[in-house]
Structure 1
């Protein structure tokens, strides 16, 4: 799964890495959580063949996918992730897989290693970042949901696949990572059908990421400062957030996915 991630690159860094037209201005975000707005990259229409402008644009969507046929969002589960193995056929994602594939830029993501209950050990948070620095692009899906009163909301989900060998000790799933050389093919929904890009929805290379143990401060969505990415030893991490001057303790285990002080669509 992917339930928390970060995007701390400057706008110009995003423009360069993903070849987008004017990414606008946005702050670094160290603890992006469900229901918050996230930046996605879409293919842009190039009506002038003489234009030298990049063929991609950014959009802001709510992280929490809503299929167009949903009548009441309150009666529908929050779809943060879409399983790559079933997204092509699943009713919730089938149309978006065909028509609205996007890239979700990230500086890295967080995942929790959960120990067996009988061990008595708390869950351990990891900050998972590319070894080479910079950003990666998750495979994502976008859908515009319209309410009965005519108002619209753009929503999105991150595709996940089975974990690679390096990731498996933490979790059995990981985000789909689209390589730069495959950006155009992934975003091309006009000529590339879902079955044509199925080969891109596979585990990332084993040597792509570093796995950095961090404190349980990341569990709480209100903690948004850079120090949540500070490395800790595994034996210290369960107590790191109680040190003087740090964030208040956060409970070990699954992250708190409630609304926090970062950007909110509601």
Structure 2
């Protein structure tokens, strides 16, 4: 699962990395606490090449009569995305990438306190989450929405959580985006063991209003590092 994430990469660096151009007003960066319903940096392929667009994180199926007409769909399971009515057409026609620097996950202690962990690529590179998008509503209410694709956690992460975002390597971006024909289904497998590292961070991030770079500072206790 992925319920909160971080993006610190500057706008121009995102454009260069993904060879994409902005098509609307993008969210401010850095942001150390991106939450569901927030706008996110979304990469997709348009008629004139790759685009960076601001999309609402929280996929709205076309049959929703309002944004609160059903559950908030922030994640889509890779195992069932091609079958679920909410996602199956988007999986075939509207795939994209959500840009991140890292993401959070939580465990609980014996007293049921939520303990946050921060995950990032071990090579320091930005993260590209596999994602799908949906245009919802009409006229002034029209908005573009998205969900992150998740898969079963790899062996390194499964002790903390049974799910993880589907993270794509640069050589796979074009295939997922549909620029290299079909075959994206083969990408929906647990991530490579070496891709991510993780460590405990302070409980300040338990609040969705928290902000600032201190949210991703590791705790000093080395025994809690991943």
- Give the alignment partner of residue 153 of structure 1, picking from 143, 146, 151: 143
Structure 2 distance, partners of 1:234, 1:124, is 14
CA contact (8 A) 2:15 2:52 kept: no
**What do the CA deviations read for 1:101-135 (whole angstroms, capped 9, x no partner)?**
010011010001234xxx33523211101111120
Report the TM-score when normalising by structure 1.
Answer: 0.78
Per-residue deviation at 1:44? Answer: 2.6
Q: Is 1:77 aligned with 2:77? A: no
Q: 1:87 is paired with a residue of what secondary structure? A: coil
> RMSD of aligned C-alpha atoms?
2.2
Q: How far did 1:90 drift?
A: 0.3
Deviations 1:132-159 (A, max 9, x none): 1120100001000014x66311111000
Which structure dedicates a bigger proportion of its chain to strand? 2
Shift of 1:27: 2.0
Counterpart residue number, 2:53: 59
Q: Give 1:12-23 correspondences, 5 Å limit.
A: 12-22=12-22
CA–CA separation in structure 2 for the residues paired with 1:177 and 1:236: 27
> What are the equivalent positions in structure 2 for 1:51-200 lying under 5 Å apart?
55-115=49-109, 119-120=110-111, 122-147=113-138, 151-188=141-178, 191-192=181-182, 196-200=183-187
Q: Any stretches of 5+ residues in structure 1 without a counterpart?
A: 47-54, 238-266
Query: Which structure has the bigger radius of gyration?
Result: 1
Q: Kindly tell me: are residues 158 and 210 of structure 1, through their superposed partners in 2, closer, same or farther at Cα, counting changes over 3 Å?
A: same
Q: TM-score, normalised by structure 2?
A: 0.91
Output the CA distance in 2 between the equivalents of 1:14 and 1:205: 23
Contact 1:7 1:105 in 2 (8 A): yes
Q: Distance in 2 between matches of 1:10 and 1:134?
A: 13
Q: Deviations over 1:69-91 (max 9, x none)?
A: 22233221100100000000100
Aligned to 1:256: none
The C-alpha deviation readout for 1:226-265, integer Å capped at 9, x for no partner, is 001111046999xxxxxxxxxxxxxxxxxxxxxxxxxxxx
Partner of 1:10: 10
Runs of 5+ in structure 2 lacking a partner? none
